[in-house]
Amino acid sequence: MKIGIIGTGFIITEALTAMSEVPAIELTAILARPHSIDKGRAFAEKFGIGKVYTDYEEFLADPEIDTVYVGIINLVHYEYGKKALLAGKDVIMEKPFTTLTAHAQELADLAREKGRFLFEAVTNRNCRIIERMREILPSIGRIRMVQANYSQYSSRYDRYLKGDVAPAFDLAACGGALFDLNVYNFNMAIALLGEPEEVKYYPNIGFNGVDISGLAVLQYKDFVGVLAAAKDSDSPCHFTIQGEKGWIQVPGKPNEVERLRYCINKQVEEYNPPADKNRLVQEFRNFSRAAAENDRAFMERELEITLAVMRTIERARLGAGIAFPTDV
């Protein structure tokens, strides 16, 4: 997998560090905006990337790039991902996949038409622990409730309170707690339990109309889920599924998923698999393996989860009256 990187923001450092741990990945090129060219060159030097581009068309024309990693603001995921697929590249899209369900469906259909791979980079869908959770789930009996909380006082929140609005707090950039943090809770819930019948979102709205925290209620056929996320406050985090015969819990932030606790028939156990140096390593290992083995079944399974998450989170957002500039 010869990857071209798009972006020079916060996530890029972590992504490049993770990719460097996967032998099957070759870091081929990086695309930076003209005013961020120095950042692009610094990344290239640090991670041994041979080429730095500022023009996307030139970047896509590079025959040595077979896969594009889209690690830029939510607003332009669809645009950049579509151009990459049309150029005959495989695509890894950083979460959230797109801002609209229709755009996500279009990209999925385009990838199938072109015979390309298309993946969403979501850590908690690509880890050993979620596979173990799938194995344990039938043992806890009839599901009765799901509770999750991903609250993290944002390093950008103090700036936001002073009127300095970063993209993560900007509706114009499709930011907010729902798409930035709660998306992890949605991904884990839907990957394990499927798409809910109904969803409602109860946000705390900031001065510029963005949701700075909020609570989503997912109604399944015979149980309910409550998913909380906050960028304006902090608390202990967890993801918990409760059944009539036991429970399963991921303690800590659901974007890390480092350990698992579960109780079956009143017997509590833990599962602590060996950890990689970087939380993103497993997802890139999964993507490179699938591409090398032409495992389209893996891609299709993951795309169906992505589309279900997009449908659910869009219903939640629109039901709460939160409008994005991409809405049609």
- The CATH architecture to which 125-275 belongs is 2-Layer Sandwich (3.30)
Q: Dump pLDDT digits (tens) for 6-19.
A: 999 889 999 999 99
What is the structure's pLDDT at 278?
87
Q: Which residues lie below 8 Å from residue 182, measured CB to CB, with a gap of 6+?
A: 150, 214, 216, 227, 228, 229, 313
Question: What are the structural domain ranges in the chain?
Answer: 2-119, 125-275
Cβ–Cβ < 8 Å for 171, 210:
yes
DSSP-derived letter for residue 22 is -
Instruction: Report the relative pairing of strands 238-243 and 246-251 from DSSP bridges.
Output: antiparallel
Say whether pLDDT at 328 is over 80: no
For residue range 95-122, list pLDDT tens digits in order.
999 999 999 999 999 999 999 999 999 9
Structure tokens at 211: 């949701």
Cis peptide before 138 (omega within 30 of 0): no
We find that the CATH architecture of domain 2-119 is 3-Layer(aba) Sandwich (3.40)
Least confident stretch, 8-12, 91-95, 175-179, 244-248: 8-12
Which amino acid belongs to residue 62? Answer: D
What average pLDDT does the chain have? Answer: 95
Report the distance separating Cα 157 and Cα 256, nearest Å. 21
| pTM of the complete model | 0.94
